């Protein structure tokens, strides 16, 4: 990866940030020919709108519209609209955090280039003087890792390739990786991970990464790693299957978050668990009506093989809880019901800890990583009771699907002092400033901001 930011302002051009409500006032401060040029170009100071200005006196080289100027993301799209090269910003709103300005701008320059060369390089920002460059870089690199993983098609990102990605993340940080594959999952008592992934030619596996001082508080991160989801025997239609390369978006978000945590050297004992499977179809695929035994000992009746993510997560969560974590967080592209509730831009999360929920919501607002707390509504829990088993993986109701999925996972949580479940989308269906179409980090920047406060020195 090339340098994310310009080293210094030597030779850098200047871009002035213009909120829409300040447009008229900003134009009158420019030399008349520069102001006339901006007006003639139809510049309205919309979010990330850019106009290059002619050289004139002390005028900046370009204007960047900030629209409502709610956050630095309102200018992030300028990274691919400004001319290539190095740029400094002037007149950014005082309320914007300098480090987040750098983060947003760099995220706006992301391009997925594994299969096609980019048309151009993004403009590089000279971070504001008071920005924490190292912090901005670790956040951006973590988000880029997540986006790259999600954007990679399943043909190049099945469980074996996801394992390679985990090993690649671990090596520079001195983390250890252990893997349980294939039939060994049965020997080691991960029966639901095995059942979901056994029909694939690429063996299912549980990936575990550990890092940090064992004396520090244990932080467990569990990410759903369904590398492709055909729906199993309850097969999806073609349209529903088209984006299923992103069904490992929970794992991708957890790995991006882990990279930030390790790079920042937060004082935690990090434990990352990724159940990596392909939910494929073959003669040995698990079936509707099957009863699966879980690592925790609970039996689960399969109401639908397309509700497989909660099964692999349940075994991984049970494993994480055996080590008594101070905090357990799982992230998963789990339900369409979450998208119906909050759409693709807001990440739903669940926790029974009010203090944790409040702190995460504050972090979400601070870094413009939209999230919203959803209810662990106990009244729906009985819907999960099985008729001939302890649990059903789909439950008896047809509503509140994201809530009941969270309640299903809660049945497997024990001994964690605090638990959070994130039902994320991990995808931008359309491009927005700083958020290009494709794979996305959803909620993990907010979590990192909060974790850095919770565990920071």
Give the Cα separation of 301 and 290 in Å (integer): 6
Asked, for residue 6, whether it belongs to a domain, the answer is no
Q: Does the CA dihedral 414-415-419-421 come out positive or negative?
A: negative
CATH number reported for the structural domain that contains residue 409 in this entry: 3.40.630.10
Do 268 and 342 fall within a single domain? yes
Asked, for residue 2, whether it belongs to a domain, the answer is no
Nearest CA among 411, 380, 387 for reference residue 314:
411
Per-residue pLDDT reduced to its tens digit, 425-449: 999 999 999 999 999 999 999 999 9
In this prediction, residue 417 carries a pLDDT of: 83
Domain finish residue from 113, 131, 149: 131
Give the Cα separation of 330 and 415 in Å (integer): 15
Per-residue pLDDT reduced to its tens digit, 69-90: 999 999 999 999 999 999 999 9
In this prediction, residue 60 carries a pLDDT of: 96
List of residues 6+ apart from 265 with CB closer than 8 A: none
pTM of the model: 0.97
Asked, for residue 439, whether it belongs to a domain, the answer is yes
Number of domains in the chain: 2
Per-residue pLDDT reduced to its tens digit, 134-147: 999 999 999 999 99
In this prediction, residue 2 carries a pLDDT of: 61
Per-residue pLDDT reduced to its tens digit, 306-338: 999 999 999 999 999 999 999 999 999 999 999
* Structure confidence at residue 94 as a pLDDT band (50, 70, 90): very high
Give the Cα separation of 424 and 224 in Å (integer): 11
Do 288 and 324 fall within a single domain? yes
Token pair 């369409």 is found at 336
Do 192 and 78 fall within a single domain? no
Do 111 and 149 fall within a single domain? no
- Residue 56 tokens read as 């004139």
Nearest CA among 416, 452, 398, 455 for reference residue 134:
452
Q: Is the CB of residue 444 less than 8 Å from the CB of residue 254?
A: yes
Do 311 and 183 fall within a single domain? yes
Give the Cα separation of 68 and 39 in Å (integer): 19
Per-residue pLDDT reduced to its tens digit, 100-125: 999 999 999 999 999 999 999 999 99
- Chain centroid to CA 294: 27
Token pair 């309102």 is found at 74
Q: Does the pLDDT of residue 339 top 70, yes or no?
A: yes
Q: Does the pLDDT of residue 246 top 60, yes or no?
A: yes
Report the pLDDT averaged over residues 171-177: 98
Q: Does the CA dihedral 390-391-397-401 come out positive or negative?
A: positive
Asked, for residue 294, whether it belongs to a domain, the answer is yes
Do 160 and 227 fall within a single domain? yes
Do 220 and 258 fall within a single domain? yes
Give the Cα separation of 66 and 87 in Å (integer): 16
Do 432 and 300 fall within a single domain? yes
Asked, for residue 5, whether it belongs to a domain, the answer is no
In this prediction, residue 3 carries a pLDDT of: 86
Give the Cα separation of 325 and 143 in Å (integer): 25
Asked, for residue 206, whether it belongs to a domain, the answer is yes
Give the Cα separation of 221 and 325 in Å (integer): 10
Asked, for residue 4, whether it belongs to a domain, the answer is no
Give the Cα separation of 146 and 442 in Å (integer): 9
In this prediction, residue 396 carries a pLDDT of: 87
Per-residue pLDDT reduced to its tens digit, 258-289: 999 999 999 999 999 999 999 999 999 999 99
Please compute, for residue 249, the number of CA atoms within 13 A of its CA located in the half-sphere on the CB side: 27
In this prediction, residue 457 carries a pLDDT of: 63
Domain finish residue from 75, 108, 131: 131
Domain finish residue from 103, 131, 159: 131
Do 213 and 257 fall within a single domain? yes
In this prediction, residue 9 carries a pLDDT of: 86
Do 199 and 104 fall within a single domain? no
Do 83 and 167 fall within a single domain? no
Per-residue pLDDT reduced to its tens digit, 372-412: 999 999 999 999 999 999 999 998 888 999 999 999 999 99
Asked, for residue 251, whether it belongs to a domain, the answer is yes
Q: How many CB atoms lie within 10 A of CB 324?
A: 13
In this prediction, residue 283 carries a pLDDT of: 97
Instruction: Compare 97 and 3 and report the one with higher pLDDT.
Output: 97
In this prediction, residue 450 carries a pLDDT of: 98
Q: Which of the residues are catalytic?
A: 236, 310
CATH number reported for the structural domain that contains residue 108 in this entry: 3.40.220.10
Q: Average pLDDT of the chain?
A: 96
Domain of residue 114 covers 13-131
* Exposure letters 385-415 (e unless 16+ CB within 10 A, then b): ebeebbbbbbbeeeebbbbbbbbbbbbbbee
Do 164 and 111 fall within a single domain? no
List of residues 6+ apart from 18 with CB closer than 8 A: 26, 45, 63, 64, 65, 66, 91
Task: Give backbone dihedrals phi and psi of 376, rounded to 5 degrees, phi first.
Answer: -85, 80
Q: Is the CB of residue 337 less than 8 Å from the CB of residue 400?
A: yes
């Amino acid at each position: 990866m090339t340098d994310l930011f310009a080293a210094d302002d030597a030779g850098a051009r200047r871009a002035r940030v213009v909120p829409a409500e300040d447009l008229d006032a900003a134009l009158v401060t420019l030399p008349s020919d520069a102001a006339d040029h901006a007006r003639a170009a139809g510049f309205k100071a919309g979010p990330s709108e850019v106009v290059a200005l002619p050289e004139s006196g002390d005028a900046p080289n370009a204007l960047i519209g900030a629209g409502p100027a709610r956050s630095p993301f309102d200018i992030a799209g300028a990274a691919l609209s400004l001319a290539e090269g190095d740029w400094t910003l002037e007149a950014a709103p005082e309320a914007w955090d300098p480090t987040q300005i750098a983060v947003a701008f760099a995220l706006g320059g992301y391009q997925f280039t594994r299969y096609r060369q980019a048309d151009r390089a993004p403009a590089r920002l000279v971070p504001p003087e008071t920005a924490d460059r190292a912090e901005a870089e670790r956040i951006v690199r973590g988000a880029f890792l997540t986006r790259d993983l999600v954007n990679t098609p399943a043909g190049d990102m099945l469980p074996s390739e996801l394992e390679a990605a985990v090993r690649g993340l671990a090596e520079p940080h001195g983390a250890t990786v252990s893997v349980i594959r294939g039939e060994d999952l049965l020997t080691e008592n991960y029966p639901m991970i095995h059942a979901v992934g056994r029909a694939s030619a690429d063996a299912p596996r549980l990936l575990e990464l550990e890092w940090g001082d064992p004396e520090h508080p244990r932080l467990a991160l569990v990410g759903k790693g369904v590398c492709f989801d055909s729906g199993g025997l309850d097969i999806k239609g073609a349209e529903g299957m088209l984006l299923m390369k992103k069904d490992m978006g929970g794992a991708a978000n957890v790995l991006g978050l882990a990279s930030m945590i390790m790079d920042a050297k937060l004082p935690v004992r990090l434990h990352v668990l990724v159940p990596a499977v392909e939910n494929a179809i073959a003669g040995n695929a698990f079936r509707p009506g099957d009863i699966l035994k879980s690592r925790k000992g609970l039996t689960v009746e399969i109401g639908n093989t397309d509700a497989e993510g909660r099964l692999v997560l349940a075994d991984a969560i049970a494993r994480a809880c055996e080590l008594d974590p101070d905090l357990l967080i799982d992230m998963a592209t789990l339900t369409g019901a979450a998208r119906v509730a909050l759409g693709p831009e807001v990440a739903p999360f669940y926790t029974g800890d009010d203090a944790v929920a409040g702190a995460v919501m504050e972090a979400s607002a601070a870094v413009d990583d939209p999230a919203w707390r959803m209810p662990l509504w106990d009244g729906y829990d009985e819907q999960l009771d099985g008729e001939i088993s302890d649990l059903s993986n789909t439950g008896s109701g047809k509503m509140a699907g994201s809530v009941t999925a969270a309640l299903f996972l809660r049945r497997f949580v024990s001994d964690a002092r605090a638990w959070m479940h994130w039902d994320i989308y991990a995808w931008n269906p359309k491009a927005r400033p700083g958020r290009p179409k494709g794979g996305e980090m959803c909620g993990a920047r907010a979590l990192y901001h909060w974790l850095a406060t919770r565990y920071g020195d």
